[in-house]
């Protein structure tokens, strides 16, 4: 009987759920705190389930001031084994773009499969090409359509390197070797063959006459 083979599945992301935080950051209102937004739970295939926090909408209900100069920021809460001095993973968009309930997309950058994220990108769709806020920004609304994906490092294709031209000992380009013709290569053998043909004895005339 053939032995059974155990296949080890390498998870694409770490099995630990990730806490997603958010805040409205306005330079005129310092010390804005992050609040719980959702919990991102990955599976072995790298897909995430998003569980919103019960208090996620509180942040938008409390934001009544002008947000034309404010940023909406997402961050990943540090894990228990993370370096306390390491910077947080934060990504920002203009807060005014949340007024029309755009679709959201998060990209988590991993250095290798199964490793914790090292960078966070946050995108909204649609957003004006110039990134400008609408003339009259209505009240902010809590976004609902959130998708999460994972990005692994990619390597650019290797350049097609050419063999460097030969150079002399002085560093000057070497002259290319001129290919010899057939006569130049084998003239000596041709001369020897012609000489042998000239020195070879002819047919015996007396023997030809007696016959």
DSSP assignment of 47-72, as one string?
A: -EEEEE-TTTTHHHHT--S--TT-EE
In a domain, 158, yes or no: no
In a domain, 43, yes or no: yes
- Residue 153, judged by CB atoms within 10 A of its CB (0-12, 13-18, 19+), counts as exposed
In a domain, 142, yes or no: yes
Residue with tokens 């209102």: 29
Gap between the Cα atoms of 139 and 67, Å rounded: 9
In a domain, 35, yes or no: yes
pLDDT digits (tens, 9 = 90+) for 188-202: 888 888 877 877 776
pLDDT digits (tens, 9 = 90+) for 154-174: 888 888 888 888 888 887 887
- Residue numbers of the domain that contains 110: 18-151
**Predicted pLDDT of residue 46:** 66
In a domain, 31, yes or no: yes
In a domain, 95, yes or no: yes
In a domain, 13, yes or no: no
More confident residue, 153 or 82: 153
Percent of the chain exceeding pLDDT 90 equals 14
In a domain, 11, yes or no: no
Q: How many domains does the chain fold into? A: 1
pLDDT digits (tens, 9 = 90+) for 102-119: 788 999 998 888 788 899
């Amino acid at each position: 009987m053939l032995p059974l083979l155990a296949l080890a599945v390498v998870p694409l992301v770490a099995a630990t759920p990730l806490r997603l935080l958010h805040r409205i950051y306005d330079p005129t209102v310092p010390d804005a705190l992050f609040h719980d937004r959702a919990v991102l739970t990955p599976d072995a295939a790298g897909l995430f389930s998003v569980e919103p926090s019960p208090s996620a909408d509180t942040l938008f209900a409390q934001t009544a001031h002008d947000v034309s100069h404010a940023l909406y920021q997402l961050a990943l809460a540090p894990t228990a084994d993370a370096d306390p001095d390491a910077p947080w993973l934060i990504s920002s968009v203009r807060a005014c773009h949340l007024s029309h309930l755009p679709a959201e997309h998060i990209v988590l950058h991993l250095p290798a499969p199964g490793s914790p994220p090292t960078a966070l990108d946050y995108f909204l769709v649609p957003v004006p090409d110039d990134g400008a806020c609408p003339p009259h920004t209505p009240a902010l609304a809590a976004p609902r359509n959130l998708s999460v994906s994972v990005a692994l490092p990619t390597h650019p294709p290797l350049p097609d390197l050419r063999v460097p031209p030969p150079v002399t000992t002085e560093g000057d380009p070497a002259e290319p070797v001129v290919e010899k013709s057939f006569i130049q290569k084998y003239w000596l053998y041709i001369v020897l063959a012609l000489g042998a043909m000239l020195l070879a004895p002819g047919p015996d005339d007396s023997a030809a006459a007696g016959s």
